[in-house]
Structure 1
Amino acid sequence: MNKIVPISFLFFLLGTVSLFAQAEKETVLVAKDTTKLEEIDPLRPAKAAFYSAILPGLGQAYNKKYWKIPLVYGAIGTSLYFYIDNNKKYNEVRDEYKRRLEGYTPSEKFARLDDSRLVEAQKFYQRNRDLSSLFVVGFYVLNIIDANVDAALMQFNVNERLSLRPEIYPTDVTFKPNVGLTFNYNF
């Protein structure tokens, strides 16, 4: 019991000293430098493109454009669905055509189609399958390009000191109106 009283008194003193020490500090307000520009990372577009190449949508997440991720997966997923569906139907029609060439009777599913219609169906599904595969690859590449361009455009300086506006001014000789653009930068 005797040891507890001096220890508690010591904690009390330390608490009041820190309280007074905090009260004596002066607060200094420092104005933030608004003219200082954010540093440009030249590898940011390459990183975003690399991430999108690894996993579609990851580059958009790196750029903090989360709303684009469902669009990427929707486009690639829809194209992939149509590729798989057309490939399945192409294989079914091709197998039926091969069966008929071997001399088997037509199955119930394709009984109403003759051999020429089966060949046309094969061409139709093969063309749609190949087109769907082009769309899958196209949307995948578009995903990478979008991440790269978005990361590059995020680093451009767009503040209120920078302006671009159209202007109509007269020609010095004929005084006819000319149309032009004026680029202003205020220091």
Structure 2
Amino acid sequence: MTLNKFLIASILAFLCCFSLIAQDKRKKKQQLPKEVLTDSIVKTREPINPLSPAKAAFYSAVLPGLGQAYNKKYWKIPIVYAAIGTGIYFYIDNNKEYNRYRDAFKSRLAGFTNDEFYFDSQGNQLTTPRISTERLQDAQEFFRRNKEISLLVTLGLYALNIIDANVDAHLLQYNVDENLSLAPKYQFNELDASSNIVLTLNFKF
């Protein structure tokens, strides 16, 4: 009788200890660690800004080269100014020559003989002008045409500066993820022993 009570008491004590140990393990599992350390680096892609191309184009429209600076393509700024500056230089030069021949032509039509082409290089007046009235008319038409072409070229370079800034801003946000790739591939056909070069487009989800 005493042995049975001792055995029952021992079994109950063992079950209580097992239950306490199980509860303690359950509590430890439920507790969250304060810090989680990982040995991997997660790279996050910068979000695409749909207004970036419009901003770059606007900046280049306000001040040529400013859009290139916004895109951080600083090496393009001297090229922009050299191109537009060259166009402006030729426009000013052709406009100056046009005004020069036009003034002499108008003076001839008014009956004067004191325009610059009635004098030699030493400043002595000539009886016959170095350039005839007909040549003055041809010269002013020539420089007027060149002046207009220079203006159009300058405006074209100015527009090209805006387009370049806009396209660059688009390309800076172009997706070059490894999950999207386009690569050439050599393919051998075993049936007819021919070979082909193809392009493969891979897209990983």
TM range (shorter): 0.7 to 0.9
- Aligned-pair Cα RMSD in Å: 2.5
Indicate whether 1:98 and 2:90 are aligned: no
Indicate whether 1:32 and 2:18 are aligned: no
**Change beyond 3 A, Cα 1:47–1:107:** same
Per the alignment, residue 133 of structure 1 pairs with 151
**Change beyond 3 A, Cα 1:30–1:174:** closer
**Change beyond 3 A, Cα 1:95–1:44:** same
Indicate whether 1:183 and 2:173 are aligned: no
Per the alignment, residue 142 of structure 1 pairs with 160
Selected match of 1:156 from 164, 174, 181: 174
Per the alignment, residue 70 of structure 1 pairs with 78
SS at match of 1:179: strand
Q: For residues 39 and 72 of structure 2, what CA distance do their matches in structure 1 show?
A: 30
**Which consecutive residues of structure 2, in runs of 5 or more, have no partner in the other structure?**
1-34, 119-128
Kept in 1, the 8 Å contact 2:107–2:115? The answer is no
Aligned length: 161
Q: For residues 103 and 125 of structure 1, what CA distance do their matches in structure 2 show?
A: 23
Per the alignment, residue 134 of structure 2 pairs with 116
Q: For residues 174 and 119 of structure 1, what CA distance do their matches in structure 2 show?
A: 75
Question: Within 5 A, what are the aligned runs for 1:42-61?
Answer: 42-61=50-69
**Change beyond 3 A, Cα 1:53–1:108:** closer
SS at match of 1:156: coil
What per-residue deviation string (whole Å, max 9, x for no partner) do you get for residues 84-122 of structure 1?
A: 111111011001000001111153446311111111111
TM-score with structure 1 length normalisation? 0.76
Q: For residues 137 and 86 of structure 2, what CA distance do their matches in structure 1 show?
A: 26
Kept in 1, the 8 Å contact 2:179–2:204? The answer is yes
Kept in 1, the 8 Å contact 2:68–2:76? The answer is yes
TM-score with structure 2 length normalisation? 0.69
What per-residue deviation string (whole Å, max 9, x for no partner) do you get for residues 7-38 of structure 1?
A: xxxxxxxxxxxxxxxxxxx9x6764313x322
Q: For residues 29 and 39 of structure 1, what CA distance do their matches in structure 2 show?
A: 25
Q: For residues 106 and 170 of structure 1, what CA distance do their matches in structure 2 show?
A: 86
Q: For residues 38 and 117 of structure 2, what CA distance do their matches in structure 1 show?
A: 82
